Amino acid sequence: MAGALLVAVLVLAFALRLKGVSWGLPFSFVNADESVVVPKAFGVARGGLNPQFFYYPSLFFYLIGGLYLLATPLLWAVQQANPLAMGAFVVDPGPYFLLARLFSVAAGTASVYLLYRIGREAFGRPAGLVAALFLAVAPLHVAYSHMAVTDVTATALSLLAFLLLLQAARGGGRRRLIAGAVAAGLATSTKYNLGALLLPATVAAVYVCRGEVGRRAAAGGRAALLWPRLLLARVYAPMLLAFLAGSPFVVLDPGHFLSDFLRQNRIMTRGWLGFEKVGNGFWYNLEVNLGGTFGVVLVVLAIAGLAWALRRHTAVDLILAPYALAYFVYISTWKELADRYLLPIIPLLLLLAVRLCLELVDLRPAARRFAAPAVALVLAAALLAPLTGSIAFDRELSGADVRSRAKIWIEHHLPPGSTIASENYGPPLVRVRDEKYYRSAGLETATYRILRLRLPAPGVPDRSHSLDWLREKHADYVIVSSKVHDRVLAAADSYPELAAFYRSLDEDAELVEVFAPGPGERGPVLKLYRLAGAPPRG
């Protein structure tokens, strides 16, 4: 019976993550970060092992690059051309985005299974099954399992680390401990912030090694010296080596790594578009980010479950709960408060919430007849909000994106070869430099000289958002997106120069067209401006 229920939960998890996974292709409309990750992975598949990009660690690039190599025969059969040729990717990146998204689907479904295993190991099969069900329908996890980005794969690796560490602490021994440390290092090599796994790995090591330390101390060894040696050999060194195995150019290209890593940390401390005025990061993460994916009932249960675990402080509790709490506190000190940063602890919070509910039933055996239905009702109510949210997300992955319509309009009305300055989240226009690939494939398309307007950050100089810079670059047209424009104007005092730039466009440039999502469409509002001296539109 339990096996059938687990299969049903995994089928549900897979279905929710697979639905709409190809939406927006061949463009990365579902998440702008895909347009960074997938080209880097393609470069790895072509032999460029140094990603020359360290805002993220490199393991995910290698995993997806390896997937492309494995899929080469299939891609060759479909495309009737060398799938690792640059032209194949430029002309039709859709298959590469799809493969990377399917990898995330698999990682998301594997996360559900791993949470079941953790729950079964820690608190019994019922807790594992119910927690897996809650993760299967968690909207944030479902959403990012559709995307070719690092977050869900990092979460899956962190759950594998927890499973191995729990098994080690409950008698699995040093091999499980070292394997757990390796998994933690690989998770960190997918997402830097998972270096926080050092905490549960150390706690697990204390339970694994304390008997050995006691025996050696009894034989004349010094415990104060034994502990650092054992922790280094069985946790810290394996974790570090696994991290470096997944991201070797951290040490092979240290200057580039440090530059990108420090720049990314400055973004975390300064904030980013949309987070300048959120106030208290702890409350924002609790109310908006956790509340948005859990719903009120489940947030309350998660907080209570965390408190219950800290009160019980068994070996399992001390491995899971302090990490979840410390991680939440850590990311809540950032000024960049994207909801996806909570993904690594969402499975643990769900498990602790479920564990609390099930243990409450057993607190008073005499009242179990009444407590069991009441707890079941509470869990059913808690499940409703995330399930509804995940179904709503999947339903949104249909229809067209306004950026596709804008692309078609521009190609029909603006002279090919025009210089167009575009913000992020703009239409996916073809660059002049890529025209040769289309010609080689026997295709004709309008091409443009594209100038990228950098994503702004508070306190960081940005010349690209100025009419003077645009004139220096001989720009003819400018495209601004509400995904940037609206967020800047919502915190105009943090971006005075950018706010002035948008006003100058309205005053000194010609508004040619506004593209707003129509019925059944998704995407931002785009504004197309013509600068003085630009060739007229067709």
Which pLDDT score is estimated for 163? 98
Taking all residues of the chain, what is their mean pLDDT, rounded to a whole number? 91
Task: Give the confidence band of 535 by pLDDT, cuts at 50, 70, 90.
Answer: low
Which pLDDT score is estimated for 199? 97
pLDDT tens digit string along 306-331?
A: 999 999 989 999 999 999 999 999 99
pLDDT tens digit string along 317-368?
A: 999 999 999 999 999 998 888 899 999 999 999 999 999 999 888 777 766 7
Which pLDDT score is estimated for 213? 75
More confident residue, 313 or 185: 185
In the chain, % of residues over pLDDT 90: 69
Alpha carbon distances (Å) from 9 to 16, 81, 390, 391, 428: 11, 40, 14, 15, 38
Helix axes of 296-312 and 368-396: crossing angle, nearest 10 degrees: 130
Task: Give the confidence band of 215 by pLDDT, cuts at 50, 70, 90.
Answer: confident
Q: Quick one: which H or E segment has residue 522? A: none
Mean pLDDT of 486-502: 85
Alpha carbon distances (Å) from 518 to 200, 479, 523: 49, 19, 10
Mean pLDDT of 435-441: 91
Structure tokens at 132: 């897996």
- Which residue type occupies 431? R
Mean pLDDT of 191-208: 95
More confident residue, 217 or 69: 69
pLDDT tens digit string along 33-64?
A: 999 999 999 999 999 999 999 999 999 999 99
List the chain domain ranges.
2-264+284-300+315-396, 402-530
Is the confidence at residue 519, as pLDDT, over 80? yes
Mean pLDDT of 241-251: 97
Which pLDDT score is estimated for 106? 98
Which pLDDT score is estimated for 263? 85
Which pLDDT score is estimated for 537? 60
Which pLDDT score is estimated for 310? 94
Task: Give the confidence band of 219 by pLDDT, cuts at 50, 70, 90.
Answer: low
Is the confidence at residue 9, as pLDDT, over 70? yes
Contacts of 151 (CB under 8 A, 6+ apart): 144, 191, 340, 343
Q: Nearest 10 degrees: CA dihedral of 126, 129, 134, 140?
A: 140
Which pLDDT score is estimated for 110? 98
Compute the chain's Rg from CA coordinates.
Answer: 26
- The residues that bridge with 419 in the sheet, in sequence order, are 449
Task: Give the confidence band of 164 by pLDDT, cuts at 50, 70, 90.
Answer: very high
Mean pLDDT of 223-236: 86
- pTM (two decimals): 0.93
Which pLDDT score is estimated for 56? 93
Range with the largest mean pLDDT of 169-183, 207-221, 449-463: 169-183
Which pLDDT score is estimated for 367? 65
The number of beta carbons lying within 10 Å of the beta carbon of residue 223 is 12
Structure tokens at 303: 């907080």
The number of beta carbons lying within 10 Å of the beta carbon of residue 473 is 13
More confident residue, 532 or 135: 135
For residues 426 and 481, is the Cβ–Cβ distance under 8 A?
yes
Whole-angstrom distance, CA of residue 341 vs CA of residue 285:
10
Mean pLDDT of 395-413: 93
Which pLDDT score is estimated for 366? 65
More confident residue, 3 or 107: 107
Whole-angstrom distance, CA of residue 189 vs CA of residue 51:
13
Q: Quick one: which H or E segment has residue 189? A: none
Helix axes of 72-79 and 94-123: crossing angle, nearest 10 degrees: 150
| C-alpha closest to that of 208 among 172, 184, 238, 244 | 172
